């Protein structure tokens, strides 16, 4: 159930939202609400970066002070051919950030997924090393003065904490991770450098993540923070593991960020965000096409409230909370792990309206 406080906030804000079509200005702002606590980010797609929908732009700039490109800086898109880079949309993202005072987190320099197709034709250590060096130097170098941070390495770990088998591990050995940090630091000395993963709040993966971080530190390269993506499931958010992770990562001298937060409400039989895992489509897996039942809406609000309460408790260690998408219609979870579903994982609904979860989060600061 909602607290009295959040129920009151909900009714006040609904009145306010109904009073004007410029709703994004009349509802509370996440970035203002948490301005003394941590940054509030979102993931942006091409349409949002290009400001194709003014209402969407207004929502983004009124609610968020940090942003991560959902796809456009991934290597397949920014580096489509061996000697060709495509900076058109990434440059627009940087301009968007500057115009609206939104700090950009680059995502991501080294990831086994969404690699350019030409990588499949490379079968020598020297060529992989050349790709790796050139990619980091060129991309990190281009944005050295106008982005705030980089997810330098993304998802390098298996669930048991061992290193994931990737083209980089295969050809370059485990030192590729520290090397990525060293090269990024060299190309972009003033940008914050992070390691980012999902499920790295889970004990076994967390232990591997701590080991990875310590190796980067021991190599002499700089690492500033660790991103816990935060792709969780309603009613099953692992609060205890999350709190232990905040404490343990922070004890290594790192900033802790929640970098891709969403709480999905639809059934699935595994946890995490490995994009290669899929489930076959079936109507029982898409139960809420006509709307989210009240009960689930309340659980979602309670989970978000408890999460932000935990983030606030550790606001001296948590520097950013980024939601993976602006509204429910944008979420990748409508298409994964089952295509074509109606999911409800974020704080704004398909009409850009704040959900009960939004008001429970904001009410924490009232
Ligand atoms: O949200 C992204 C989606 O649009 C892409 O199709 C997908 C492809 O790999 O990547 C999604 O974002 C992922 C992020 O880059 C890394 N962590 C997991 C995210 C969700 O899959």
Residue minimizing CA distance to atom 1 of ligand 1: 332
What pLDDT, on a 0 to 100 scale, did the predictor assign at position 281?
75
Q: How far is the CA of 266 from the centre of ligand 1 (A)?
A: 18
What pLDDT, on a 0 to 100 scale, did the predictor assign at position 26?
82
Tell me the residue range of the domain where 331 lies: 4-365
Give the chain's domain count: 1
Closest by CA to 122, choosing from 114, 113, 131, is 131
Our answer to whether residue 155 is catalytic in this structure is yes
What pLDDT, on a 0 to 100 scale, did the predictor assign at position 326?
98
Q: Assess whether the C-beta atom of 273 lies below 6 angstroms from ligand 1.
A: yes
Closest by CA to 245, choosing from 215, 208, 192, 277, is 208
pLDDT band at 8 (very low <50, low <70, confident <90, very high): very low
What pLDDT, on a 0 to 100 scale, did the predictor assign at position 14?
37
pLDDT band at 11 (very low <50, low <70, confident <90, very high): very low
Residue 154: phi and psi, rounded to 5, are -120, 130
pLDDT at 18 over 70: no
Our answer to whether residue 295 is catalytic in this structure is no
Q: How far apart are CA 113 and CA 142, in angstroms?
A: 22
* Ligand 1: nearest atom to the Cα of 325: 1
Residue minimizing CA distance to atom 6 of ligand 1: 332
Mean pLDDT score, 123-129: 97
Q: pTM of the entire structure?
A: 0.93
Q: Assess whether the C-beta atom of 72 lies below 6 angstroms from ligand 1.
A: no
Residue 264: phi and psi, rounded to 5, are -85, 150
Tokens 């398909």 found at: 350
Count CB atoms within 10 A of the CB of residue 45.
18
Residue minimizing CA distance to atom 17 of ligand 1: 273
* Ligand 1: nearest atom to the Cα of 275: 21
Closest by CA to 50, choosing from 112, 6, 82, 92, is 92
Q: Which among 43, 44, 67, 70 is the best mutation to test ligand 1's pocket, defined by most ligand atoms within 8 Å of the CB?
A: 70
Average pLDDT along the chain: 93
Tokens 């500057």 found at: 98
Catalytic-labelled residue, pool 155, 192, 264, 305: 155
Domain containing residue 328: CATH number: 3.20.20.80
What residues contact 121, with CB distance under 8 A and at least 6 apart? Answer: none
Q: How far is the CA of 70 from the centre of ligand 1 (A)?
A: 7
What pLDDT, on a 0 to 100 scale, did the predictor assign at position 4?
40
**Least confident among 25-34, 66-75, 279-288:** 279-288
pLDDT at 255 over 60: yes
13 or 217, higher pLDDT:
217
Residue 43: phi and psi, rounded to 5, are -100, 140
pLDDT band at 3 (very low <50, low <70, confident <90, very high): very low
Mean pLDDT score, 44-50: 98
Kindly write down the DSSP assignment for every residue of 199-229, as one continuous string. Answer: STTSHHHHHHHHHHHHHHHHHT----EEEE-
Residue 88: phi and psi, rounded to 5, are -60, -60
What pLDDT, on a 0 to 100 scale, did the predictor assign at position 49?
98
Mean pLDDT score, 26-39: 96
pLDDT digits (tens, 9 = 90+) for 76-122: 999 999 999 999 999 999 999 999 999 999 999 999 999 999 999 99
Q: Assess whether the C-beta atom of 332 lies below 6 angstroms from ligand 1.
A: yes
* Ligand 1: nearest atom to the Cα of 332: 1
What pLDDT, on a 0 to 100 scale, did the predictor assign at position 274?
78
What are the tokens at 116? Answer: 């350019």
Q: Assess whether the C-beta atom of 46 lies below 6 angstroms from ligand 1.
A: no
pLDDT digits (tens, 9 = 90+) for 257-278: 999 999 999 987 777 777 777 7
pLDDT at 7 over 60: no
pLDDT at 9 over 60: no
pLDDT band at 218 (very low <50, low <70, confident <90, very high): very high
pLDDT band at 145 (very low <50, low <70, confident <90, very high): very high
> What CA dihedral angle connects 307, 310, 311 and 314, to 10 degrees?
-170
pLDDT digits (tens, 9 = 90+) for 318-348: 999 999 999 999 999 999 999 999 999 999 9
Q: Assess whether the C-beta atom of 70 lies below 6 angstroms from ligand 1.
A: yes
* Ligand 1: nearest atom to the Cα of 154: 16
pLDDT band at 5 (very low <50, low <70, confident <90, very high): very low
Q: Long-range contacts of range 133-139, CB-CB < 8 Å, 24 or more positions apart? A: 133/183, 135/75, 135/79, 135/109, 136/109, 136/110, 136/180, 136/183, 136/184, 136/187, 137/183, 137/186, 137/187, 138/79, 138/85, 139/73, 139/78, 139/79, 139/85, 139/106, 139/109
What are the tokens at 305? Answer: 């409230």
Q: Between β-strands 255-264 and 192-197, what pairing exists: parallel, antiparallel or unpaired?
A: unpaired
Q: Assess whether the C-beta atom of 260 lies below 6 angstroms from ligand 1.
A: yes
Catalytic-labelled residue, pool 70, 179, 201, 260: 260
Q: How far apart are CA 78 and CA 139, in angstroms?
A: 8
> How far, CA to CA in Å, does 154 sit from each of 157, 170, 224?
9, 16, 14
* Ligand 1: nearest atom to the Cα of 198: 17
pLDDT at 208 over 50: yes
pLDDT digits (tens, 9 = 90+) for 276-315: 777 777 888 899 999 999 999 999 999 999 999 999 999 9
Q: How far is the CA of 74 from the centre of ligand 1 (A)?
A: 10
Q: Assess whether the C-beta atom of 197 lies below 6 angstroms from ligand 1.
A: no
Q: How far apart are CA 105 and CA 200, in angstroms?
A: 19
Q: How far apart are CA 131 and CA 135, in angstroms?
A: 6
Count CB atoms within 10 A of the CB of residue 105.
28
């Amino acid at each position: 159930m909602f607290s009295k406080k959040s129920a009151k906030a909900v009714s006040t804000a609904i009145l306010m939202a109904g009073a004007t079509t410029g709703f994004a200005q009349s509802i509370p702002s996440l970035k203002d609400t948490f301005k003394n606590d941590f940054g509030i980010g979102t993931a942006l797609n091409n349409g949002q970066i290009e400001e194709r929908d003014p209402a969407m732009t207004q929502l983004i700039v009124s609610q968020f002070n940090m942003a991560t490109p959902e796809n456009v800086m991934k290597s397949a898109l920014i580096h489509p051919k061996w000697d060709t880079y495509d900076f058109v949309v990434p440059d627009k993202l940087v301009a968007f950030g500057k115009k609206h005072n939104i700090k950009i987190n680059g995502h991501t320099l080294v990831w086994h997924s969404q690699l350019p197709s030409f990588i499949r034709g490379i079968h020598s250590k020297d060529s992989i090393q050349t790709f790796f060096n050139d990619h980091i130097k060129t991309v990190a170098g281009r944005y050295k003065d106008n982005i705030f941070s980089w997810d330098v390495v993304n998802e390098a770990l298996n669930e048991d904490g061992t290193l994931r088998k990737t083209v980089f591990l295969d050809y370059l050995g485990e030192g590729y991770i520290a090397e990525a940090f060293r090269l990024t630091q060299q190309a972009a000395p003033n940008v914050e450098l992070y390691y980012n993963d999902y499920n790295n709040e889970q004990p076994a993966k967390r232990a591997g993540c701590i080991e990875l971080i310590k190796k980067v530190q021991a190599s002499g390269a700089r690492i500033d923070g660790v991103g816990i993506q935060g792709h969780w499931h309603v009613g099953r958010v692992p609060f205890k593991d999350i709190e232990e992770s905040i404490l343990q990562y922070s004890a290594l001298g790192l900033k802790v960020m929640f970098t891709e937060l969403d709480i999905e409400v639809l059934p699935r039989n595994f946890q995490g965000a490995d994009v290669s895992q899929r489930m076959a489509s079936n109507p029982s897996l898409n139960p809420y096409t006509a709307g989210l039942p009240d009960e689930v809406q309340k659980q979602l609000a309670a989970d978000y409230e408890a999460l932000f309460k935990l983030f606030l408790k550790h606001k001296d260690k948590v520097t950013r909370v980024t939601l993976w998408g602006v509204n429910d219609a944008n979420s990748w979870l409508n298409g994964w792990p089952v295509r074509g579903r109606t999911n409800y994982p974020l704080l704004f609904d398909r009409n850009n309206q704040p959900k009960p979860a939004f008001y429970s989060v904001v009410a924490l600061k009232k």
